């Protein structure tokens, strides 16, 4: 990997049928538009001590929605009132040791009272961020950052979009 790299690694991984990591994440958003983020502790192999969305790995034979509900119960002792699929994305960042990954993102409305009642079992902390405050944070997991930004600006980004699938 260098300045003359031809790219196309993600497409090649898809075409080759190699192993992909399958992950899920929760876009937990308050009525006033703040996003609940988890501060990773120093132990994760991927970007420790960075802010990210809550979520995790999809187990074999598990749907992304089921994985998300399991992860929220394990990480926060939280059962959401509503879960709505938002988007999915594929990415690969060998600079961070991240191989081909596919991530499903779900929107979950939360109140401040629900956030206060959560019991966190993973990570070093949690916090509600406005989009601007989050984008000012120097330690932000990149694959979550772009989806939070897309979600926060969805009224502008999707203004002329065709109806969803």
Q: Is 112 part of any domain?
A: yes
Q: What is the pTM of this model?
A: 0.87
Number of domains composing the chain: 1
Q: Is residue 97 part of a domain?
A: yes
Residue 105: closest CA among 120, 91, 123:
91
103 is a domain residue: yes
Single out the residue of 118, 123, 143, 137 nearest to residue 40, CA to CA: 123
- Closest C-alpha to 130, from 55, 33, 28, 65: 33
pLDDT confidence of residue 25: 97
Question: What is the three-class DSSP state of 54?
Answer: strand
Tokens of 84: 């709505």
Residue 2 has pLDDT above 60, yes or no: no
CATH number at residue 90: 3.90.79.10
Query: What's the CA gap between 102 and 49, in Å, rounded?
Result: 22
What is the model's pLDDT at position 94? 81
> What Rg do the C-alpha atoms of the chain give, in angstroms?
16
| Rounded-to-integer distance, Cα 85 and Cα 24, Å | 10
Residue 5 lies in a domain: no
Give per-residue pLDDT as tens, 119-145: 999 999 999 999 999 999 999 998 899
Q: What is the mean pLDDT of the chain?
A: 88
Its domain, for residue 97, covers: 24-155
Q: Is residue 11 part of a domain?
A: no
Residue keyed to tokens 């992860």 = 71
Q: Report the alpha-carbon distance of residue 9 to residue 2 in Å, rounded.
A: 13
Per-residue model confidence (pLDDT) at position 5: 53
């Amino acid at each position: 990997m260098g300045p003359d790299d031809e790219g196309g690694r993600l497409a090649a991984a898809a075409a080759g049928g190699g192993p992909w990591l399958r992950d899920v994440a929760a876009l937990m958003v308050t009525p006033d538009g703040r996003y609940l983020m988890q501060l990773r502790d120093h132990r994760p192999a991927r970007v420790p001590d960075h802010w990210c969305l809550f979520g995790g790995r999809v187990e074999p034979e598990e749907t992304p929605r089921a994985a998300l509900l399991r992860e929220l119960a394990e990480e926060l002792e939280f059962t959401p009132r509503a879960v709505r699929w938002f988007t999915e994305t594929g990415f690969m960042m060998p600079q961070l040791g991240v191989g081909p990954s596919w991530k499903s993102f779900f929107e979950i409305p939360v109140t401040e009272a629900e956030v206060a009642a959560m019991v966190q079992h993973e990570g070093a902390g949690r916090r509600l961020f406005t989009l601007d405050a989050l984008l000012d944070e120097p330690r932000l997991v990149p694959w979550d950052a772009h989806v939070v930004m897309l979600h926060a600006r969805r009224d502008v980004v999707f203004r002329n979009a065709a109806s969803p699938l």
